[in-house]
Structure 1
């Protein structure tokens, strides 16, 4: 099982079915908050839906296609983060993340994304990390900006969110630039 300690407060652990109820409750408590930027909230209406997500994530992990983790903050699951996709042909990891509403403002996600970026370059030997966020999602965009990722441009109508399209800003970090920081 994958576990990664970031600091005294935060660690990442591979998703597990035994955590489905806890994660569903976190999702449900933060539903309105998360729905603004995540397209899957309306189709996650039960613990069974969360179990399906976990099973799919574990299958992708076993196939070496992705890595989805639960974020532990002071021992409590507070969100998810990981590589939504790992492109081994081009050596690129695509980071995705969300955090429960009650845990915002503690620097959790910045530390998590920094650790995932370190892991991608130093442990997996990848050459690039990519993060995409809706243009208007200032909180999500602030994380790669804070970590020195380069704004590589905008993809128009990149994602359908319930009743409208949103454009995405693409942020990239190269291993050589990360290591020179």
Structure 2
């Protein structure tokens, strides 16, 4: 099971069945906020839906296709971060993340993503990290830029979000560019 102690405040670990209720609660409490940028909120209606997500994340982990971790801040689940996809042939990790609305602006996500990147480069022997964010999602883009990702381009109308298409900004980070090791 994936567990990563980031510092005295933040820990990343795979979610388990006991996390289904808090995962649902943080998702539901931040639903309108998260709907601005995440397409899956209308699929989460109950704790059982959160449990299905957790079970699916274990399957991806067992198949070495992805890693999904809860972000725990002072032992409280506050969001999710992970490799939505792992491409070992090309040594690339595709990073995704979200944080509950009440936990924004505390540096939690910057720490979590930085730790995940270090893990990916050192423990998984990846060479590249790929991160995509909606063009208008400035907080998410700021995290990528703060960490050192390079803006590599824009994909027009990359994602359908409920009632509109959004463009994605593509960011990349190479192992040779990472200096947090």
Q: Please indicate the TM-score interval, normalised by the length of the shorter structure.
A: over 0.9
TM alignment of 1:112-131, pairs within 5 A: 112-131=112-131
Gaps of 5+ in 1: none
Determine the C-alpha separation between the residues in 2 that align with 1:145 and 1:180. Answer: 14
What's 2:99 paired with?
Answer: 99
Shift of 1:159: 0.7
Shift of 1:125: 0.6
For normalisation by structure 2, the TM-score amounts to 0.98
> In the alignment, is the contact (CA less than 8 A) between 2:118 and 2:180 conserved in 1?
no
Question: Aligned partners of 1:30 and 1:42: how far apart in 2?
Answer: 13
Residue 132 of structure 1 corresponds to which residue in structure 2? 132
Residues 21-100 of structure 1 correspond to what in structure 2 (within 5 A)?
A: 21-100=21-100
Distance in 2 separating the partners of 1:63 and 1:150: 30
CA distance, structure 2, for counterparts of residue 17 and residue 54 of structure 1: 7
Q: Distance in 2 between matches of 1:41 and 1:173?
A: 28
Moved over 2 A (4+): none
Superposition RMSD in Å: 1.1
TM-score by length of 1: 0.98
1:177 positional shift: 1.1
Unaligned runs of 5+ in 2: none
C-alpha displacement of 1:48? 1.0
Post-superposition Cα deviations, 1:46-82, rounded to whole Å, max 9, x if no partner, equal: 1111111111111010000000000000110000000
